[in-house]
Amino acid sequence: MTAIGFVGTGVMGQSIVRHLLQAGNRVYVYNRTKKKAEELLAEGANWCETPRDVAQEADLVFTMVGYPSDVEEVYYGKNGLFQTESKGKVFVDLTTSTPTLAEKIYETALTREAGSLDAPVSGGDLGAKKGTLTVMAGGSEEVFQQVKPIVALFSSDLKLHGGPGSGQHTKMANQIMVAGTMTGMTEMLVYAQTAGLDLEKVIHTLSGGAASNWSLLNYGPRILKEDYSPGFFVKHFVKDLKIALDEAKKMNLNLPSTQLAYKLYSDLSAESFEEHGTQALIKLWWND
């Protein structure tokens, strides 16, 4: 039985912790709102009052929080993970954050004789529930191989993309691609409806051809059911696209499509849909 820590039991974190528990691991959890961890506690997880307490109990600690500022606080705050003995421990940040912060955590871990990976994920709430998340890792090969069997409990695709920060860069590439498919799917539905087409038939037909993509297959049906629950929050996608554009600027890249997607999702957030799922982009057109 492995002692595993998990900080951040949100929409995806809850499902990941369940996979860890079902595999027979002893799991210590912390979340800013304890209520969001109550189901997991009933299922056998152990509650800790602070991230620091999690690090004291566990040899392998996963973090999955909202924003880079949250990651900074979880690791470096007065009750953070690095406020206790870290020698021999491994820290894996599943949050979509910045490459710069991933590099900082890596360097801090090294000085404390610990290991770290930046390992953001893709697959949303459905991938977390099914245990089929895609994990994009950055860090050392040694640490990657060490945690691989545990990460495999909640993922179907796990690759090391290079040194520290590489996982975050890969996730930015992923979000740039997702931005394109989400805006494309949304405009497709708006067009098809205005043309008087049967949207269920359109989704079925397009899913079998060159237009097929993950967003269409997973979010198209949700939109038709008016299900805007968050597999991935609008507010977090705005954050991710901002990071991607900031990183692109550092590399002297102009990404006009991603800039447009960022504007559209920022507009959606400004209309009070920040707590909805990303499929709520359709509400910029269908909001009655």
- Give yes or no: residues 14 and 133 share one domain: yes
User: Within 13 Å and on the Cβ side, how many CA atoms surround 258?
Assistant: 23
Question: With 90 as the cut, is the pLDDT of residue 235 above it?
Answer: yes
- Give yes or no: residues 46 and 153 share one domain: yes
- Give yes or no: residues 7 and 141 share one domain: yes
- Give yes or no: residues 114 and 29 share one domain: yes
Q: What is the pTM of this model?
A: 0.94
Residue 231: pLDDT band (50, 70, 90) is confident
Domain span at residue 241 reads 169-284
d(CA 106, CA 137): 12
- Give yes or no: residues 114 and 237 share one domain: no
Residue 107: CATH number of its domain: 3.40.50.720
Across the chain, what does the average pLDDT equal?
96
Which residue among 162, 177, 203 closes a domain? 162
Question: With 80 as the cut, is the pLDDT of residue 288 above it?
Answer: no
d(CA 102, CA 118): 6
Share of the chain above pLDDT 90, in %: 95
Residue 22: pLDDT band (50, 70, 90) is very high
Question: With 80 as the cut, is the pLDDT of residue 143 above it?
Answer: yes
What does the pLDDT read at residue 1? 60
Pick the catalytic residue: 89, 104, 129, 171?
171
Report the domain count for the chain: 2
- Give yes or no: residues 155 and 192 share one domain: no
Share of the chain above pLDDT 70, in %: 100
Say if residues 176 and 262 touch (Cβ distance below 8 Å).
no
Which residue among 135, 162, 189 closes a domain? 162
Comparison of pLDDT for 226 and 287, the residue scoring more: 226
- Give yes or no: residues 157 and 174 share one domain: no
Which residue among 140, 162, 184 closes a domain? 162
Question: With 70 as the cut, is the pLDDT of residue 259 above it?
Answer: yes
- Give yes or no: residues 122 and 152 share one domain: yes
Say if residues 91 and 105 touch (Cβ distance below 8 Å).
yes
Average pLDDT rounded to a whole number, residues 126-155? 97
Q: Is 225 among the catalytic positions?
A: no
Average pLDDT rounded to a whole number, residues 120-147? 96
- Give yes or no: residues 154 and 36 share one domain: yes
Long-range contacts of residues 130-136, Cβ cutoff 8 Å, at least 24 apart: 131/15, 131/19, 131/155, 131/156, 132/156, 133/12, 133/16, 133/157, 134/158, 134/174, 135/94, 135/159, 136/161, 136/166, 136/167, 136/170, 136/171, 136/174
What does the pLDDT read at residue 268? 98
Residue 124: pLDDT band (50, 70, 90) is confident
Average pLDDT rounded to a whole number, residues 55-76? 97
What does the pLDDT read at residue 2? 80
Question: With 90 as the cut, is the pLDDT of residue 47 above it?
Answer: yes
Question: With 80 as the cut, is the pLDDT of residue 131 above it?
Answer: yes
